[in-house]
A = this chain, B = another copy of it.
Amino acid sequence: MKPVPSSPRVTIRDVANAANVHVSTVSRALDPSRRSLISDEVLASVEGAARRLGYQPNRAASALRTGRTRTIGVLVPDMTNSVFPPILQGIEASAAARGYFVMVAHAAEASIGRAVVERMLAQRVDGVVLANATRDDPLIPFLIASRLPAVLVNRADEAGRLSAVVGDDRLAMKLAVDHLLQTGHRRIAHLAGPQNVPTGVARRQGFEQALKDAKRKPAGIAECAAYSREAGAEAMRVLLQQQQRGARPDAVVCSNDLVALGAYDALRAAGLRIPDDVSVTGHNDMPLVDMVDPPLTTIRLPHREFGWRAAEFLFEALGGGEGSVSTLVLRPELVVRGSTRGSAC
């Protein structure tokens, strides 16, 4: 009958006994929002007793009673992708400031994501931040149906069903393209990200629009199978093969830093120099891309801010706020380094 106590912890009842009051009084005294109902003397004695005994309210009990665990879930596809750690940091900072905890789970594939969300539902997280939504992610209707408050980060929901925090992909591409045009590049190609993720599509469209604005045509577009170095190298090879002799691009705008570094590999293998023969730009400004050879010109985004803004959206929703569904678009910044010709001079 008696459950094994994980350790003999002090409960609200112990505090009540020590302070010679009823447990409900202790409960009130220790809740900032109801503290005012308590007389000063009683308040002081309860607080004293609590401190003296080292009382820590049992959140599991409070969760059972109130239905809120003060915990939010975060789904990331891959922590070793360097955009996610700062996002997580931002989310966690925001959560910690409110006394919430963050449960992180990896969900590389959508199929796993479903199972993870189900476990999170069982764990009764108060909400989730999804950092890995694909286009038309089946997780989104599932989250909505289960009425679990959710916010997307880094990838928007095109159908506008959930709030999201994202970078301005079109502007990012325009910054890159305009920089290349201004530095005399004329044959600009694009290594697009996977077209099943929103950023892959948006950046590609941004690239095409930026060239159209300048009344030019792309010198080629190749789609990467993933946001990875290998996929970038492969796509670059495809592009080089398509554009034999003379028609070779003099610049390639990459959808992502890893893709750009893959392009480095393929260009080198083809005997081409960067930026003398071909300029390259990336996207994300990952750590150390300023130390590669040549230092990568890229787009910087405030990833940490992505995280805490997303968490703020979520907490707004948790606070019962109407919190209309909204997408926050954060501004990218071009960081010019040595991988684009005409800029190092």
Contacts and interface: CB of A to CB of B under 8 A. Distances in A.
A170 to B, nearest CB: 27
Interface stretch (A218-226, A234-242, A281-289): A281-289
A121 interface: yes
A122 B101 CA distance: 11
B59 A123 contact: yes
A21 interface: no
Nearest to A293: B293
A85 B92 contact: no
Given A79-B85, A80-B86, A118-B56, A7 B289 contact: no
A241 B86 CA distance: 36
Contacts of A121: 56
Interface in A99-126: 99, 101-106, 116, 118-124, 126
A17 interface: no
Interface string A54-80: 001111110111111111000000111
A124 B6 contact: yes
A122 B6 contact: no
B293 A124 contact: no
A116 B205 CA distance: 44
A78 B147 CA distance: 33
Interface in A273-327: 286-289, 291-294
Contacts of A336: none
A193 B70 CA distance: 38
A89 interface: yes
A128 interface: no
B66 A3 contact: yes
A124 B79 contact: no
Given A122-B57, A124-B58, A293-B292, A3 B67 contact: yes
Contacts of A291: 261, 264, 288, 292-293
Interface of A: 3-7, 56-61, 63-71, 78-80, 82, 84-86, 88-89, 92-93, 96, 99, 101-106, 116, 118-124, 126, 146-147, 261, 264, 286-289, 291-294
14 contacts: A3-B65, A6-B124, A6-B126, A63-B63, A71-B103, A78-B89, A82-B85, A85-B85, A89-B106, A96-B105, A96-B116, A101-B103, A288-B291, A288-B292
